[in-house]
Amino acid sequence: MLTQKQMENFAELTVRIGANMQKGQEVVIRCDVNCADFAHLIAEKAYQFGAKKVMMQWRDEILSRLTILNADKETLCEIPQYSIDQSQYYIDHKVCLISISAGNPNIFKGCDPDKLAAMSKASSKAMAFFRKATMSNYLRWTIVSVPTPAWANQVFPDLPTDQAIDKMWNAIGHIMRLDTEDPTAAWQQHIATLKRRAAYLTEQNFEYMHLYNAAGTDLSVGLATDHIWIAAEEEGQDGVPFTANMPTEEVFTAPHCRKINGKVVNALPLVENGNVIDNFSLTFKDGKVIDYSAETGYDTLKSLLESDEGALSLGEIALIGKNSPIAESGILFFNTLFDENASCHLALGQSYPTTVKDGNDLTEDQLNERGMNKSMKHVDFMIGTKDINIDGITYDGKKVAIFRDGEWII
Ligand code: ZN
Ligand code: ZN
């Protein structure tokens, strides 16, 4: 369990390093009703640091489950106008968004995958304008996480709930560097290291990255023209830096969606809508998946890949060393915020316009010309084994070693 002081430090990190809320700004906290205590602590900190107004957008995963089980598909696909208006309000008021991600990873177990897919498609479509506002950094946003009983029970199924939650708090406390003397300073130093690596990779301007390991991954990922490697801190369109994911360990950029070739094998399970996909491989040719297999969750993988044309290609390549605190913990969190920061990963689907130069000023055609992928999906999956090697290949064919045996060597 964290001390009260550590909890306050956590809330402060969320507001100041994460969303980097500015004095006089409106704040929206999006979280499940079971995280209300931490949400209130964040609200308190936000006001303490000068928020104009803090608003809560409550979610209720148990009600969501009941609705999916009982309502028909058409009803599930109806997106009420007030939800759209609410998101538009957030854009108009340039709020900073704080999300607490602590869902029960199994909440949709047994729900009709067809309903889930239809619902997620309808909501992605209706909320495309809002996703654009966050993915292009028009709004500053951050995601943090706290343990909940249902989640902790999934992560530590052999422990009684109390102990499971306790163990998770300890893990998250360490991962969030709350056990250091000065968490803010620890985060600033961590961010500086990641930014140095990102700057180095951007300067190298590799044509593609070559990833290979003993599990069978042998993949060439071409990089988008004029790509930028990003780490930890990003810049909002208003020039104010923020840290979108806390924790974050990754340095990432955009693949070229027509220049990906070879095979990749997953390193950790992928949880999509509460369904696990594991022991899977994808084979790419000229940027698209042309063949795939999965020992677990084949149907879920199939419906993911068939979501739209862009779901067959990649929108992100992210590098994370095996000695990061999340990887070291050895815990499988069943939550992307942690698991994607435990291991090198790729994402099927949409790429971030911020990962190419002047990306936010480019039209869709121009983005496409640079090799940026377009999709309603963005689904990360982990590929970084302890033995993964990664080389950067320059346009004139020079090879530069970036990772050896799962760890950075730059
Ligand atoms: Zn990522
Ligand atoms: Zn991602």
Q: How far apart are CA 89 and CA 375, in angstroms?
A: 25
CA of 230 to the centre of ligand 1 (A): 10
Segment 75-91, tens digit of pLDDT = 999 999 999 999 999 99
Cβ–Cβ under 8 Å, residues 259 and 208:
yes
Nearest to 148 by CA among 161, 135, 157: 161
CA of 118 to the centre of ligand 1 (A): 25
Kindly identify the ligand whose nearest atom is closest to the C-alpha of 252.
Answer: 1
Q: Are residues 63 and 108 in the same domain?
A: yes
182 belongs to a structural domain: no
Helices (DSSP H) in 104-160: which residue ranges?
Answer: 113-126, 128-135, 149-155
Residue 225's pLDDT is what? 98
Q: CA gyration radius for the chain?
A: 20
Contacts 24+ apart (CB under 8 A), 162-170: 166/1, 169/1, 169/2, 170/1
Q: Are residues 146 and 276 in the same domain?
A: no
Q: Are residues 227 and 158 in the same domain?
A: no
Q: What's the full length of the chain, in residues?
A: 410
Q: Are residues 216 and 147 in the same domain?
A: no
CA of 270 to the centre of ligand 2 (A): 12
Residue 115's pLDDT is what? 92
183 belongs to a structural domain: no
How many C-beta atoms lie closer than 10 Å to residue 208's C-beta?
21
From the number of C-beta atoms within 10 Å of its C-beta (0-12, 13-18, 19+), residue 216 rates as: exposed
Could you give phi then psi for residue 251, rounded to 5 degrees?
Answer: -120, 120
Q: Are residues 26 and 155 in the same domain?
A: yes
Q: Are residues 11 and 49 in the same domain?
A: yes
Structure tokens at 202: 């951007």
Residue 109's pLDDT is what? 87
Q: Are residues 99 and 56 in the same domain?
A: yes
* Cis preceding-peptide flag for 325 (omega within 30 of 0): no
Residue 271's pLDDT is what? 83
Kindly identify the ligand whose nearest atom is closest to the C-alpha of 352.
Answer: 2
CA of 4 to the centre of ligand 1 (A): 31
Segment 302-324, tens digit of pLDDT = 999 999 999 999 999 999 999 99
Q: What is the pTM of this model?
A: 0.84
188 belongs to a structural domain: no
Nearest to 268 by CA among 338, 172, 173: 338
Kindly identify the ligand whose nearest atom is closest to the C-alpha of 378.
Answer: 2
254 belongs to a structural domain: yes
CA of 67 to the centre of ligand 2 (A): 28
Q: With residue 382 as reference, give the H or E element that holds it.
A: strand 378-382
244 belongs to a structural domain: no
CA of 320 to the centre of ligand 1 (A): 9
Order of strands, sheet of 141-144, starting from the edge strand that comes earlier in the sequence: 53-59, 26-32, 96-100, 141-144
- Ion ligand 2 — residues with CB < 5 Å: 316, 347, 380
The parts of the chain modelled with pLDDT lower than 70 are none
Q: Are residues 105 and 206 in the same domain?
A: no
Kindly identify the ligand whose nearest atom is closest to the C-alpha of 230.
Answer: 1
CA of 197 to the centre of ligand 1 (A): 15
Helices (DSSP H) in 77-213: which residue ranges?
Answer: 81-92, 113-126, 128-135, 149-155, 161-175, 183-204
190 belongs to a structural domain: no
Q: How far apart are CA 223 and CA 167, in angstroms?
A: 40
DSSP for 19-60, please give it: S-PPTT-EEEEEEEGGGHHHHHHHHHHHHHTT-SEEEEEEE-
Q: How far apart are CA 5 and CA 300, in angstroms?
A: 43
CA of 206 to the centre of ligand 2 (A): 20
Q: Are residues 268 and 393 in the same domain?
A: yes
Q: Are residues 203 and 285 in the same domain?
A: yes
User: Integer distance in angstroms from the first to the last C-alpha of the chain?
Assistant: 36
191 belongs to a structural domain: no
Residue 199's pLDDT is what? 97
CATH number of the domain that 144 lies in?
3.40.1830.10
Nearest to 296 by CA among 263, 267, 272, 269: 269
CA of 251 to the centre of ligand 2 (A): 11
Task: Name the residue range of residue 19's domain.
Answer: 4-175
CA of 125 to the centre of ligand 2 (A): 19
Q: Are residues 67 and 210 in the same domain?
A: no
CA of 343 to the centre of ligand 1 (A): 10
Q: Which residues contact 396 (CB under 8 A, 6 or more apart)?
A: none
**Looking up tokens 């950029």, which residue turns up?**
253
Q: Are residues 110 and 159 in the same domain?
A: yes
Residue 214's pLDDT is what? 97
CA of 162 to the centre of ligand 1 (A): 31
CA of 25 to the centre of ligand 1 (A): 27
180 belongs to a structural domain: no
Nearest to 271 by CA among 323, 337, 216: 337
Q: Sign of torsion, CA 246 247 249 254?
A: negative
Residue 400's pLDDT is what? 98
How many angstroms from the chain centroid is the CA of residue 1?
A: 26
Among 160, 175, 190, residue at a domain's last position: 175
Among 144, 175, 206, residue at a domain's last position: 175
Q: How far apart are CA 224 and CA 345, in angstroms?
A: 17
Number of domains into which the chain is organized: 2
